[in-house]
Amino acid sequence: MSSVLVTGSSDGIGAETARALVALGHRVVLHARNGERADDARAAVPGADGVLVADLASLAEVRAMGGSAGAFDVVVHNAGVGGGAAERSETVDGIERILAVNVLAPYVLTALMPVPRRLVYLTSGLESQGRADLDDLQSTRGPWDGMQAYSDSKLWDVVLALAVARLQPGTVSNAVDPGWIRTRMGGPGATDDLADGAETQVWLATSDEPAATASGRYLKRRRELRAHPAAYDTAVQDGLLAACAELTGVRLTPR
């Protein structure tokens, strides 16, 4: 039995991932952004071992969670926000919201939490449309384009997963595109159901098959795909880590 933390697990793909892991007999800890959503998480996954509460748009709350969450065998970085907002918005820390939640939060948690055996970072097929512009992480140039900011964040998630795989060779670190899933974020017109969206993460978290224990990959439906070329560039990886460290005050070091 493994201990697993699934961020953003009060509904959608995160809750489905947690339910599947509980059904397999694993100890699962959920995460929600506030007390109300924590209640939703407990209701969605009644067999879970507990719920961590932290608003991932707040660096203070993310740092507190990273410092107090404890050790897990597996961490699934599922939490994220979409790009549907009509206007650019900033967090209480003055950081563009999509970047803060989708990229900086998993970065800080990875840097501060005890090193797990396996890490899974959720991305999107839109990572292929992301811009690897380290000089504009916060999308300040030109008119606001929420979907472009989202695509950029999903590319950065792949970059982060591959950077961690390189710097923490004792940890199996991979990025997963769950597909277009019928969730609140994906919408009713999405092509795939929740079970499809969670299946690869559950497999990576639990299987001892050689294909599930290889690190530094971008996967969909258990198959390795070729990500945006920038994801494999170690200079881009190091640049992202340096930029994240500057924005958060937290440094991810090789371990």
pLDDT digits (tens, 9 = 90+) for 49-86: 999 999 999 999 999 999 999 999 999 999 999 999 99
Question: Which burial class, exposed, middle or buried, applies to 223 when counting CB atoms under 10 A from its CB (0-12, 13-18, 19+)?
Answer: exposed
Average pLDDT, the chain: 95
pLDDT attached to residue 240? 98
pTM, 2 dp: 0.96
Joined together, the tokens standing for residue 83 give 């790009």
Q: What is the pLDDT of residue 97?
A: 98
- Side-chain-side CA neighbours of 165 within 13 Å: the count stands at 22
Share of the chain above pLDDT 90, in %: 92
Per-residue pLDDT band for 185 (boundaries 50, 70, 90) equals low
Other C-beta atoms within 10 Å of 117: how many? Answer: 15
Alpha helices in the chain (DSSP H): 12-23, 35-44, 59-68, 97-99, 105-112, 146-167, 194-206, 234-248
Q: Of the listed 107, 121, 150, 218, which one is catalytic?
A: 150
Beta-carbon contacts of 241 under 8 Å, excluding residues fewer than 6 positions away, are: 107, 160, 163, 252
Residue 9 has pLDDT above 70, yes or no: yes
Structure tokens at 238: 């190091």
Give the pLDDT score at 193: 80
Q: What is the pLDDT of residues 147-165, one digit of tens each?
A: 999 999 999 999 999 999 9
Known catalytic residue at 220: no
For residue 181, pLDDT over 80 is answered with no
- Return the pLDDT at 1: 87
User: pLDDT at residue 182 above 60?
Assistant: no
Could you give the C-alpha distances from 109 to 42, 45, 106, in angstroms and in order?
22, 23, 5
| Percentage of residues in the chain having pLDDT higher than 70 | 95
3-state SS, residue 172: strand
* pLDDT grade for 48, boundaries at 50, 70 and 90: very high
Q: What is the mean pLDDT of residues 103-125?
A: 98
Catalytic residue among 107, 121, 154, 218: 154
Q: What structural domains does the chain harbor? A: 3-248 (3.40.50.720)
154 is catalytic: yes
Amino acid at residue number 190: A
In contact, 237 and 252? CB cutoff 8 Å: no
Phi-psi region of 108 (alpha: psi -120 to 50; beta: other; left: phi over 0): alpha
- What does the alpha-carbon distance between residue 204 and residue 21 come to, in Å, rounded to a whole number? 11
